[in-house]
């Protein structure tokens, strides 16, 4: 193996511990008690398989509780919770609202990744073009814009792209260089390859299962590795980073590291780090695992 293609792989855990407007207060019996700004929610979490006494009085003073159904799915029960509200992470502001399947429009554990790539962008000393695929409500897009990058934001849901634009505007970033695109990510990447476009950094958070705007079916276990090979063709001659997020059972850190190290072979001298991402739990002092991520950085 030549120096150009030499790879280094590491594993670790990254904790989003800089939040002031969000915290996991406690966890027990399949649920987590969270504070989102001034509002407290109880939501199910499949990682919480332990049973501990719910001694914190906040368990009984909540503004919303998502009850999972034994038949699948579930429903919200609200107690004086507004239809929408905002929270901040440093200079970033996010618009939140509870919607289908327990979500609020933000995954706060991703702040650990935002901090990581924001530092890389700020320290690059050159303009950085970022491609954010399966970009959801734009947490990563907003963080990259604030760090000074230009961003192409792609998601198959028109509603999610509209939400992301609102988050950028709330963060005072509406005038930054960004393209908001409602599109099937695979078809978009294929067109970008034909157009000869390239990006210095790529972020992706693919779902386990999904449909594109025209009914295109995405099954992660069948499509993620071919999609990585395809997307690697969009990297510039001087790439900065690649971030792959996973909330899918089976895509553990070791799997992410192997996929990235092989899919990106031939793109230069890079390092791969893969690990869990997590959130600190105030009551126990432990860390709640919240999926995993694979991070790639290139070196001169």
Reported as a single tens digit per residue, the pLDDT across 169-182 is: 999 999 999 999 99
Check residue 212 and give its pLDDT.
62
Is the pTM above the cut of 0.85? yes
Residue 7 — very low, low, confident or very high, per pLDDT cuts 50/70/90?
very low
Residue whose C-alpha is closest to residue 259's, from 239, 278, 232, 240:
232
Residue 12 — very low, low, confident or very high, per pLDDT cuts 50/70/90?
low
Mean pLDDT of 40-45: 97
159 near 179, Cβ under 8 Å? Answer: no
Residue 218 — very low, low, confident or very high, per pLDDT cuts 50/70/90?
low
Q: Which CATH class is domain 22-96?
A: mainly beta
Check residue 214 and give its pLDDT.
67
Residue whose C-alpha is closest to residue 136's, from 150, 124, 154:
154
Check residue 125 and give its pLDDT.
96
Residue 6 — very low, low, confident or very high, per pLDDT cuts 50/70/90?
very low
User: Which residue has better confidence, 109 or 216?
Assistant: 109
By CB atoms closer than 10 A (0-12, 13-18, 19+), residue 212 is: middle
Distance from C-alpha of 264 to C-alpha of 259, rounded to nearest angstrom = 8
Q: Above 50 in pLDDT, residue 2?
A: no
Residue 1 — very low, low, confident or very high, per pLDDT cuts 50/70/90?
very low
Check residue 100 and give its pLDDT.
77
Which residue in this structure is represented by tokens 């996929």? 259
Residue 4 — very low, low, confident or very high, per pLDDT cuts 50/70/90?
very low
- Second-level CATH architecture of 3-16+108-299: 3-Layer(aba) Sandwich (3.40)
Check residue 216 and give its pLDDT.
67
Q: Which letter does DSSP use for residue 199 in this model?
A: B
* 87 CB-side CA count, 13 A: 21
Per-domain boundaries in the chain? 3-16+108-299, 22-96
User: Which residue has better confidence, 223 or 110?
Assistant: 110
């Amino acid at each position: 193996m030549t120096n150009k293609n030499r790879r280094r792989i590491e594993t670790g855990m990254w904790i989003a511990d800089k939040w002031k407007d969000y915290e996991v207060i406690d966890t027990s019996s399949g649920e987590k008690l969270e504070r989102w700004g001034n509002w407290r929610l109880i939501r199910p979490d499949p990682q919480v398989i332990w049973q501990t006494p719910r001694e914190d009085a906040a368990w009984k003073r909540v503004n919303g509780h998502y009850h999972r159904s034994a038949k699948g799915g579930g429903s919200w029960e609200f107690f004086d919770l507004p239809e929408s509200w905002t929270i901040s992470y440093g200079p970033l502001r996010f618009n939140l609202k509870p919607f289908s399947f327990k979500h609020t429009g933000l995954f706060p554990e991703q702040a650990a990744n935002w901090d990581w790539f924001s530092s890389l962008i700020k320290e690059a000393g050159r303009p950085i073009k970022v491609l954010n695929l399966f970009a959801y409500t734009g947490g990563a897009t907003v963080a990259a814009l604030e760090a000074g990058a230009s961003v192409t934001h792609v998601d198959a849901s028109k509603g999610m792209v509209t939400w992301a634009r609102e988050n950028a505007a709330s963060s005072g970033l509406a005038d930054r260089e960004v393209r908001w695109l409602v599109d099937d990510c695979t078809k978009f990447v294929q067109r970008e390859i034909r157009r000869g476009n390239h990006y210095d950094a790529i972020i992706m958070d693919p779902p386990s299962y999904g449909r594109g705007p025209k009914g295109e079916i995405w099954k992660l276990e069948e499509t993620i590795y071919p999609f990585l090979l395809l997307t690697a063709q969009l990297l510039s001659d001087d790439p900065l980073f690649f971030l792959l997020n996973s909330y899918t059972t089976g895509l553990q850190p070791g799997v992410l590291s192997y996929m990235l190290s092989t899919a990106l072979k031939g793109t230069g001298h890079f390092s791969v780090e893969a690990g869990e991402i997590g959130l600190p739990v105030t009551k126990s002092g432990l860390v709640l695992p919240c999926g995993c991520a694979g991070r790639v950085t290139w070196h001169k």
